Structure 1
Protein backbone atom coordinates (compact mmCIF):
# COMPACT_ATOMS: atom_id res chain seq x y z
CA UNK A 1 0.00 0.00 0.00
CA UNK A 2 1.32 3.46 -0.90
CA UNK A 3 0.59 6.27 1.50
CA UNK A 4 -0.19 9.73 0.03
CA UNK A 5 2.25 12.59 0.06
CA UNK A 6 4.12 14.03 2.99
CA UNK A 7 5.66 17.26 1.82
CA UNK A 8 9.04 17.90 3.40
CA UNK A 9 10.10 21.52 3.65
CA UNK A 10 11.81 24.19 5.70
CA UNK A 11 10.51 27.37 7.28
CA UNK A 12 11.61 30.46 5.40
CA UNK A 13 10.14 33.74 4.24
CA UNK A 14 8.90 31.93 1.16
CA UNK A 15 7.90 28.70 2.99
CA UNK A 16 9.21 26.80 0.03
CA UNK A 17 8.31 23.11 -0.21
CA UNK A 18 11.45 21.21 -1.16
CA UNK A 19 10.55 17.58 -1.70
CA UNK A 20 7.88 14.93 -1.66
CA UNK A 21 8.36 11.64 0.18
CA UNK A 22 6.38 8.46 -0.47
CA UNK A 23 6.34 5.74 2.18
CA UNK A 24 4.92 2.25 1.76
CA UNK A 25 3.89 -0.32 4.32
CA UNK A 26 1.24 -2.77 5.40
CA UNK A 27 0.41 -1.54 8.92
CA UNK A 28 0.49 1.80 10.81
CA UNK A 29 3.76 1.02 12.60
CA UNK A 30 5.66 0.93 9.28
CA UNK A 31 4.91 4.62 8.72
CA UNK A 32 7.75 6.72 10.18
CA UNK A 33 7.59 8.71 13.39
CA UNK A 34 8.14 12.47 13.42
CA UNK A 35 11.20 13.64 15.36
CA UNK A 36 11.22 17.25 16.58
CA UNK A 37 14.82 18.20 17.54
CA UNK A 38 15.00 19.93 20.92
CA UNK A 39 17.42 22.53 19.55
CA UNK A 40 15.18 23.56 16.64
CA UNK A 41 12.48 25.95 17.85
CA UNK A 42 10.96 26.30 14.37
CA UNK A 43 9.98 22.64 13.88
CA UNK A 44 6.28 22.28 13.05
CA UNK A 45 4.05 20.05 10.93
CA UNK A 46 1.19 21.60 8.97
CA UNK A 47 -1.82 19.30 8.62
CA UNK A 48 -4.47 19.36 5.89
CA UNK A 49 -7.36 17.55 7.62
CA UNK A 50 -9.61 15.12 5.79
CA UNK A 51 -12.71 16.49 7.51
CA UNK A 52 -13.62 20.09 8.46
CA UNK A 53 -12.65 20.75 12.07
CA UNK A 54 -16.20 21.74 13.04
CA UNK A 55 -16.73 19.10 15.68
CA UNK A 56 -19.48 18.16 18.15
CA UNK A 57 -17.14 15.50 19.52
CA UNK A 58 -13.63 14.20 18.95
CA UNK A 59 -11.01 11.69 19.98
CA UNK A 60 -7.29 12.43 19.62
CA UNK A 61 -4.94 9.47 20.05
CA UNK A 62 -1.17 9.50 19.68
CA UNK A 63 2.08 7.94 20.81
CA UNK A 64 4.77 10.29 22.10
CA UNK A 65 8.26 10.07 23.53
CA UNK A 66 8.86 13.59 24.75
CA UNK A 67 11.95 15.26 26.10
CA UNK A 68 11.47 16.25 29.77
CA UNK A 69 11.12 19.99 29.15
CA UNK A 70 8.12 22.19 29.96
CA UNK A 71 4.66 22.14 28.41
CA UNK A 72 4.84 20.77 24.87
CA UNK A 73 2.17 21.08 22.21
CA UNK A 74 1.05 17.93 20.44
CA UNK A 75 -1.76 19.44 18.36
CA UNK A 76 -2.99 22.99 17.89
CA UNK A 77 -6.01 24.16 15.90
CA UNK A 78 -6.49 27.92 15.74
CA UNK A 79 -8.99 30.21 14.03
CA UNK A 80 -9.14 33.95 13.53
CA UNK A 81 -11.24 34.25 16.69
CA UNK A 82 -9.41 31.72 18.88
CA UNK A 83 -5.75 30.70 19.07
CA UNK A 84 -6.80 27.73 21.22
CA UNK A 85 -9.91 26.46 19.46
CA UNK A 86 -8.51 22.98 20.00
CA UNK A 87 -5.14 22.28 21.59
CA UNK A 88 -3.48 19.43 23.48
CA UNK A 89 -0.18 19.63 25.38
CA UNK A 90 1.90 17.10 27.33
CA UNK A 91 4.39 17.55 30.17
CA UNK A 92 3.74 17.33 33.91
CA UNK A 93 0.07 17.56 32.92
CA UNK A 94 -1.98 17.02 29.82
CA UNK A 95 -3.56 20.33 28.87
CA UNK A 96 -6.76 20.45 26.80
CA UNK A 97 -8.30 23.56 25.25
CA UNK A 98 -11.70 23.49 23.55
CA UNK A 99 -13.08 26.79 22.28
CA UNK A 100 -10.50 28.64 24.35
CA UNK A 101 -11.53 26.94 27.61
CA UNK A 102 -8.73 25.08 29.43
CA UNK A 103 -8.75 21.83 31.36
CA UNK A 104 -5.78 20.13 33.05
CA UNK A 105 -5.23 16.40 33.59
CA UNK A 106 -2.27 15.62 35.93
CA UNK A 107 0.21 13.12 34.48
CA UNK A 108 1.81 11.05 37.21
CA UNK A 109 4.41 9.00 35.43
CA UNK A 110 8.19 8.90 35.16
CA UNK A 111 8.47 6.90 31.95
CA UNK A 112 11.01 8.19 29.45
CA UNK A 113 9.88 5.80 26.72
CA UNK A 114 6.83 5.81 24.46
CA UNK A 115 3.45 6.64 26.04
CA UNK A 116 0.04 6.24 24.45
CA UNK A 117 -2.51 9.00 25.03
CA UNK A 118 -6.12 9.39 23.97
CA UNK A 119 -8.24 12.45 24.76
CA UNK A 120 -11.99 12.36 24.17
CA UNK A 121 -14.59 15.10 24.35
CA UNK A 122 -18.30 15.15 23.53
CA UNK A 123 -20.42 18.26 23.25
CA UNK A 124 -23.71 16.62 24.20
CA UNK A 125 -22.62 15.89 27.77
CA UNK A 126 -19.64 18.24 27.83
CA UNK A 127 -17.42 15.40 29.04
CA UNK A 128 -13.66 15.13 28.49
CA UNK A 129 -11.58 12.07 29.41
CA UNK A 130 -7.87 11.28 29.27
CA UNK A 131 -6.72 7.73 28.57
CA UNK A 132 -3.07 6.90 29.32
CA UNK A 133 -1.69 3.59 28.03
CA UNK A 134 -5.24 2.25 27.69
CA UNK A 135 -6.42 3.23 31.19
CA UNK A 136 -9.10 5.88 31.63
CA UNK A 137 -8.75 8.73 34.07
CA UNK A 138 -11.58 10.57 35.78
CA UNK A 139 -13.96 12.28 33.35
CA UNK A 140 -14.08 16.07 33.54
CA UNK A 141 -16.70 18.58 32.40
CA UNK A 142 -16.11 21.33 29.82
CA UNK A 143 -17.88 23.21 27.01
CA UNK A 144 -21.24 21.43 27.01
CA UNK A 145 -23.11 22.22 23.80
CA UNK A 146 -20.07 23.71 22.06
CA UNK A 147 -19.10 23.08 18.42
CA UNK A 148 -15.56 23.86 17.26
CA UNK A 149 -15.31 26.45 14.52
CA UNK A 150 -14.25 25.57 10.95
CA UNK A 151 -11.76 27.32 8.69
CA UNK A 152 -8.75 27.32 11.03
CA UNK A 153 -5.13 26.17 10.83
CA UNK A 154 -4.13 22.75 12.18
CA UNK A 155 -0.52 21.97 13.16
CA UNK A 156 1.44 19.40 15.15
CA UNK A 157 4.30 20.25 17.49
CA UNK A 158 3.62 23.95 18.15
CA UNK A 159 0.98 26.35 19.44
CA UNK A 160 0.13 29.09 16.95
CA UNK A 161 -0.29 32.75 17.89
CA UNK A 162 -2.35 34.13 15.01
CA UNK A 163 -1.95 37.75 16.13
CA UNK A 164 1.86 37.63 16.18
CA UNK A 165 2.19 35.03 13.44
CA UNK A 166 4.52 32.97 15.62
CA UNK A 167 4.67 29.54 17.24
CA UNK A 168 5.42 28.60 20.87
CA UNK A 169 5.44 25.74 23.41
CA UNK A 170 7.25 23.47 21.00
CA UNK A 171 7.30 19.69 21.23
CA UNK A 172 10.72 18.03 21.55
CA UNK A 173 11.03 14.32 20.88
CA UNK A 174 9.16 11.70 18.90
CA UNK A 175 5.51 11.67 17.88
CA UNK A 176 3.70 8.87 16.07
CA UNK A 177 0.32 7.43 15.08
CA UNK A 178 -1.55 10.71 15.52
CA UNK A 179 -5.21 10.18 14.66
CA UNK A 180 -8.27 12.36 15.21
CA UNK A 181 -11.86 11.14 14.94
CA UNK A 182 -15.03 13.23 14.83
CA UNK A 183 -16.57 11.00 17.51
CA UNK A 184 -15.78 9.62 20.96
CA UNK A 185 -14.12 6.23 20.61
CA UNK A 186 -15.29 3.39 22.81
CA UNK A 187 -13.21 1.91 25.62
CA UNK A 188 -12.46 -1.29 23.68
CA UNK A 189 -11.24 0.71 20.67
CA UNK A 190 -8.92 2.86 22.80
CA UNK A 191 -7.47 -0.13 24.64
CA UNK A 192 -6.84 -1.91 21.34
CA UNK A 193 -4.97 1.13 20.04
CA UNK A 194 -2.84 1.28 23.21
CA UNK A 195 -1.99 -2.40 22.77
CA UNK A 196 -1.17 -1.89 19.07
CA UNK A 197 -3.92 -4.35 18.14
CA UNK A 198 -6.09 -2.01 16.09
CA UNK A 199 -5.53 -0.40 12.72
CA UNK A 200 -8.17 2.26 13.30
CA UNK A 201 -7.70 5.48 11.32
CA UNK A 202 -9.17 8.85 12.14
CA UNK A 203 -11.58 10.63 9.79
CA UNK A 204 -10.12 14.09 10.57
CA UNK A 205 -6.45 13.04 10.78
CA UNK A 206 -5.57 9.57 9.50
CA UNK A 207 -1.95 8.73 10.25
CA UNK A 208 -0.09 7.86 7.07
CA UNK A 209 -2.89 9.15 4.83
CA UNK A 210 -3.57 12.80 5.71
CA UNK A 211 -1.36 15.26 3.76
CA UNK A 212 1.16 16.97 6.04
CA UNK A 213 3.96 19.49 5.49
CA UNK A 214 7.11 18.96 7.59
CA UNK A 215 8.71 22.33 8.24
CA UNK A 216 11.67 23.72 10.16
CA UNK A 217 13.74 20.57 10.46
CA UNK A 218 11.21 17.91 11.51
CA UNK A 219 12.76 14.51 10.71
CA UNK A 220 11.30 11.18 9.65
CA UNK A 221 12.61 8.30 11.78
CA UNK A 222 11.60 4.63 12.23
CA UNK A 223 8.54 4.25 14.42
CA UNK A 224 9.39 2.08 17.45
CA UNK A 225 6.28 2.91 19.49
CA UNK A 226 4.73 -0.56 19.12
CA UNK A 227 7.92 -2.57 19.52
Structure 2
Protein backbone atom coordinates (compact mmCIF):
# COMPACT_ATOMS: atom_id res chain seq x y z
CA UNK A 1 0.00 0.00 0.00
CA UNK A 2 1.52 3.28 -1.10
CA UNK A 3 0.75 6.55 0.66
CA UNK A 4 0.59 9.94 -1.02
CA UNK A 5 -0.47 13.43 -0.10
CA UNK A 6 1.58 14.62 2.86
CA UNK A 7 4.69 15.93 1.07
CA UNK A 8 3.41 16.49 -2.43
CA UNK A 9 3.66 19.57 -4.68
CA UNK A 10 0.67 21.90 -5.14
CA UNK A 11 -2.50 20.27 -6.46
CA UNK A 12 -2.04 21.58 -10.02
CA UNK A 13 1.26 19.67 -10.26
CA UNK A 14 0.07 16.46 -8.60
CA UNK A 15 -0.02 13.40 -10.89
CA UNK A 16 -3.14 11.50 -11.90
CA UNK A 17 -4.18 8.11 -10.51
CA UNK A 18 -4.30 5.28 -13.02
CA UNK A 19 -6.60 2.38 -12.13
CA UNK A 20 -5.67 -0.65 -14.28
CA UNK A 21 -8.61 -2.47 -15.86
CA UNK A 22 -7.02 -5.88 -15.26
CA UNK A 23 -6.87 -5.42 -11.47
CA UNK A 24 -10.33 -5.54 -9.88
CA UNK A 25 -8.86 -4.87 -6.44
CA UNK A 26 -7.47 -1.41 -7.20
CA UNK A 27 -8.68 1.48 -5.05
CA UNK A 28 -7.43 4.52 -3.14
CA UNK A 29 -8.17 4.89 0.58
CA UNK A 30 -8.71 8.51 1.65
CA UNK A 31 -8.18 10.13 5.04
CA UNK A 32 -10.59 13.09 4.84
CA UNK A 33 -9.49 16.42 6.30
CA UNK A 34 -12.68 16.66 8.38
CA UNK A 35 -15.43 14.30 9.46
CA UNK A 36 -18.04 13.20 6.95
CA UNK A 37 -21.06 14.53 8.84
CA UNK A 38 -22.22 16.60 5.88
CA UNK A 39 -25.31 18.73 5.33
CA UNK A 40 -24.11 19.63 1.83
CA UNK A 41 -21.23 18.83 -0.47
CA UNK A 42 -19.65 19.41 -3.87
CA UNK A 43 -17.48 16.70 -5.45
CA UNK A 44 -15.43 17.66 -8.51
CA UNK A 45 -13.06 15.48 -10.51
CA UNK A 46 -11.49 14.87 -13.91
CA UNK A 47 -11.58 11.35 -15.37
CA UNK A 48 -10.68 9.52 -18.54
CA UNK A 49 -12.57 6.25 -18.26
CA UNK A 50 -11.62 3.03 -20.05
CA UNK A 51 -14.89 1.23 -19.36
CA UNK A 52 -18.39 2.23 -20.48
CA UNK A 53 -20.13 0.34 -17.70
CA UNK A 54 -21.13 1.78 -14.32
CA UNK A 55 -18.00 2.61 -12.32
CA UNK A 56 -17.57 4.01 -8.83
CA UNK A 57 -15.67 7.28 -8.47
CA UNK A 58 -16.12 7.88 -4.74
CA UNK A 59 -17.73 5.71 -2.07
CA UNK A 60 -18.29 6.50 1.58
CA UNK A 61 -19.83 3.78 3.72
CA UNK A 62 -20.53 3.28 7.41
CA UNK A 63 -21.28 0.19 9.49
CA UNK A 64 -24.98 1.02 9.21
CA UNK A 65 -25.12 1.83 5.50
CA UNK A 66 -23.01 0.93 2.45
CA UNK A 67 -24.26 3.78 0.25
CA UNK A 68 -23.94 6.71 2.64
CA UNK A 69 -22.37 8.81 -0.13
CA UNK A 70 -21.53 7.25 -3.50
CA UNK A 71 -20.94 8.75 -6.95
CA UNK A 72 -20.75 6.56 -10.08
CA UNK A 73 -20.28 7.24 -13.79
CA UNK A 74 -21.39 5.29 -16.85
CA UNK A 75 -24.35 5.85 -19.17
CA UNK A 76 -25.52 8.16 -16.37
CA UNK A 77 -24.02 9.71 -13.25
CA UNK A 78 -25.42 8.03 -10.15
CA UNK A 79 -25.63 9.65 -6.73
CA UNK A 80 -26.47 7.94 -3.42
CA UNK A 81 -27.02 9.96 -0.25
CA UNK A 82 -28.06 8.08 2.88
CA UNK A 83 -28.98 5.02 0.82
CA UNK A 84 -31.31 6.94 -1.54
CA UNK A 85 -30.48 7.20 -5.24
CA UNK A 86 -30.91 9.55 -8.20
CA UNK A 87 -29.22 9.53 -11.59
CA UNK A 88 -28.35 12.14 -14.18
CA UNK A 89 -28.39 10.95 -17.82
CA UNK A 90 -25.27 11.89 -19.75
CA UNK A 91 -25.70 13.62 -23.13
CA UNK A 92 -22.86 11.67 -24.72
CA UNK A 93 -20.23 9.06 -24.02
CA UNK A 94 -16.60 9.94 -24.39
CA UNK A 95 -13.23 8.31 -23.85
CA UNK A 96 -11.60 11.74 -23.52
CA UNK A 97 -10.90 13.62 -20.30
CA UNK A 98 -14.13 15.02 -18.82
CA UNK A 99 -14.73 17.27 -15.83
CA UNK A 100 -17.58 16.46 -13.45
CA UNK A 101 -19.01 18.21 -10.41
CA UNK A 102 -21.82 16.74 -8.31
CA UNK A 103 -23.46 18.82 -5.58
CA UNK A 104 -26.17 18.26 -2.97
CA UNK A 105 -27.72 20.41 -0.23
CA UNK A 106 -29.75 19.01 2.66
CA UNK A 107 -31.83 22.14 3.32
CA UNK A 108 -33.46 21.97 -0.13
CA UNK A 109 -32.71 18.39 -1.19
CA UNK A 110 -31.38 19.81 -4.46
CA UNK A 111 -28.83 17.66 -6.32
CA UNK A 112 -27.03 18.85 -9.44
CA UNK A 113 -24.51 17.61 -11.99
CA UNK A 114 -22.14 19.81 -14.00
CA UNK A 115 -20.34 18.27 -16.99
CA UNK A 116 -17.44 20.32 -18.35
CA UNK A 117 -18.88 23.35 -16.55
CA UNK A 118 -22.44 23.04 -17.90
CA UNK A 119 -25.20 22.29 -15.38
CA UNK A 120 -27.89 19.71 -16.07
CA UNK A 121 -31.41 19.26 -14.77
CA UNK A 122 -31.78 19.49 -10.98
CA UNK A 123 -32.91 16.42 -9.00
CA UNK A 124 -34.32 16.11 -5.49
CA UNK A 125 -32.81 13.78 -2.91
CA UNK A 126 -32.88 13.31 0.88
CA UNK A 127 -34.09 16.75 2.00
CA UNK A 128 -33.17 17.33 5.63
CA UNK A 129 -30.66 14.48 5.76
CA UNK A 130 -27.18 14.67 7.37
CA UNK A 131 -24.61 12.04 6.46
CA UNK A 132 -23.08 9.95 9.23
CA UNK A 133 -19.51 10.34 10.41
CA UNK A 134 -17.06 7.56 11.21
CA UNK A 135 -17.15 5.61 7.94
CA UNK A 136 -14.69 4.53 5.25
CA UNK A 137 -13.90 6.74 2.24
CA UNK A 138 -12.37 5.33 -0.96
CA UNK A 139 -11.86 6.30 -4.58
CA UNK A 140 -12.35 3.90 -7.48
CA UNK A 141 -14.40 1.21 -5.73
CA UNK A 142 -17.70 0.72 -3.90
CA UNK A 143 -17.13 -0.98 -0.57
CA UNK A 144 -19.55 -3.38 1.05
CA UNK A 145 -18.68 -2.80 4.70
CA UNK A 146 -20.55 -5.87 5.95
CA UNK A 147 -18.91 -8.26 3.52
CA UNK A 148 -15.56 -6.47 3.43
CA UNK A 149 -15.39 -6.56 -0.37
CA UNK A 150 -15.03 -4.01 -3.15
CA UNK A 151 -17.00 -3.89 -6.41
CA UNK A 152 -17.94 -1.74 -9.44
CA UNK A 153 -14.35 -0.71 -9.97
CA UNK A 154 -13.21 2.29 -11.97
CA UNK A 155 -10.67 1.76 -14.74
CA UNK A 156 -8.79 4.64 -16.32
CA UNK A 157 -7.32 7.92 -15.11
CA UNK A 158 -8.63 10.10 -12.27
CA UNK A 159 -7.37 13.54 -11.30
CA UNK A 160 -8.13 16.77 -9.41
CA UNK A 161 -10.55 15.11 -6.99
CA UNK A 162 -11.86 17.69 -4.51
CA UNK A 163 -14.69 17.47 -1.99
CA UNK A 164 -16.20 20.49 -0.21
CA UNK A 165 -18.66 20.49 2.69
CA UNK A 166 -20.83 23.07 0.92
CA UNK A 167 -22.17 23.77 -2.57
CA UNK A 168 -19.55 25.86 -4.35
CA UNK A 169 -20.59 28.53 -6.84
CA UNK A 170 -21.42 28.01 -10.51
CA UNK A 171 -18.59 30.40 -11.36
CA UNK A 172 -16.06 28.34 -9.41
CA UNK A 173 -17.26 25.12 -11.07
CA UNK A 174 -16.90 26.65 -14.53
CA UNK A 175 -13.45 27.94 -13.61
CA UNK A 176 -12.38 24.48 -12.43
CA UNK A 177 -13.62 22.95 -15.70
CA UNK A 178 -11.50 25.52 -17.58
CA UNK A 179 -8.46 24.83 -15.34
CA UNK A 180 -8.42 28.43 -14.13
CA UNK A 181 -8.67 28.03 -10.34
CA UNK A 182 -5.94 25.67 -9.21
CA UNK A 183 -5.99 27.32 -5.78
CA UNK A 184 -9.56 26.10 -5.11
CA UNK A 185 -9.23 23.20 -2.67
CA UNK A 186 -11.86 21.17 -0.88
CA UNK A 187 -12.04 21.16 2.91
CA UNK A 188 -12.81 17.41 2.97
CA UNK A 189 -10.57 16.27 0.09
CA UNK A 190 -7.90 18.67 -1.19
CA UNK A 191 -6.19 17.25 -4.25
CA UNK A 192 -2.47 16.74 -3.70
CA UNK A 193 -2.72 17.45 0.04
CA UNK A 194 -5.16 14.96 1.59
CA UNK A 195 -3.41 11.76 2.73
CA UNK A 196 -4.31 8.81 0.49
CA UNK A 197 -3.13 5.20 0.22
CA UNK A 198 -2.93 3.41 -3.14
CA UNK A 199 -3.83 -0.29 -3.26
CA UNK A 200 -4.24 -3.04 -5.82
CA UNK A 201 -1.96 -1.69 -8.51
CA UNK A 202 -3.10 1.96 -8.67
CA UNK A 203 -0.15 3.99 -9.95
CA UNK A 204 0.75 7.67 -10.34
CA UNK A 205 1.07 8.93 -13.91
CA UNK A 206 1.53 12.36 -15.47
CA UNK A 207 -1.70 14.37 -15.55
CA UNK A 208 -2.72 15.82 -18.96
CA UNK A 209 -6.27 16.74 -17.89
CA UNK A 210 -5.58 20.48 -17.84
CA UNK A 211 -3.12 20.66 -20.71
Please give the alpha-carbon distance, in whole angstroms, between the structure 2 residues aligned to 1:167 and 1:133: 29
Shift of 1:160: 0.3
Q: 2:150 aligns with which of 146, 167, 170?
A: 167
- Are the equivalent residues in 1 in contact too, given 2:6–2:194 (CA < 8 A)? no
Could you list the per-position Cα deviations for residues 175-214 of structure 1 after superposition, in whole angstroms to 9, with x for gaps in the alignment? 0000000000110010000000002000000000000000
Please say if residues 96 and 102 of structure 1, whose CA atoms lie closer than 8 Å, have aligned partners that are also in contact: yes
The separation in 2 between residues aligned to 1:119 and 1:23, in whole angstroms, is 28
Cα root mean square deviation, aligned: 1.4
CA distance in 2, matches of 1:85, 1:70: 22
Aligned residues: 210
| 1:96 aligns to 2:79 (yes or no) | yes
Whether 1:57 aligns to 2:40 is yes
**Deviation for aligned residue 1:29:** 2.9
Aligned mates of 1:107, 1:218 — CA distance in 2: 27
Distance 1:96 1:20, change over 3 A: closer
> Is the 2:38–2:130 Cα contact (8 Å) retained in structure 1?
yes
Contact 2:109-2:128 at 8 Å conserved across structures: yes
Is 1:202–2:183 an aligned residue pair? no
| Structure 1 position 163, deviation (Å) | 1.3
Deviations 1:72-92 (A, max 9, x none): 000000001110000000011
Aligned partner of 1:188 in structure 2 is 171
Greater C-alpha Rg:
1
Given the superposition, is the C-alpha separation of residues 20 and 158 from structure 1 closer, same or farther in structure 2, using an over 3 Å criterion? closer
Change (3 A) 1:21 1:120: closer
Task: Tell me whether 1:37 sits opposite 2:20 in the alignment.
Answer: yes
Verify the 8 A CA contact 2:30 2:195 in the aligned structure 1: yes
- 2:201 aligns to what? 217
Give 5+ residue unaligned stretches, structure 1: 1-8, 10-16
Report how far residue 67 of structure 1 moved.
Answer: 1.0
CA contact 2:46–2:100 (8 Å) conserved in 1:
yes
Q: Which has the higher contact order (CA 8 A, sep 6+)?
A: 2
Tell me, what secondary structure is at the counterpart of 1:63? Answer: strand
The answer to whether structure 1 residue 114 and structure 2 residue 89 are counterparts is no
Contact 1:77–1:155 (CA under 8 A) maintained in structure 2: yes
Alignment equivalent of 2:53, drawn from 41, 55, 70: 70
- State how 1:115-194 maps to structure 2 within 5 Å: 115-194=98-177
CA contact (8 A) 1:59 1:181 kept: yes
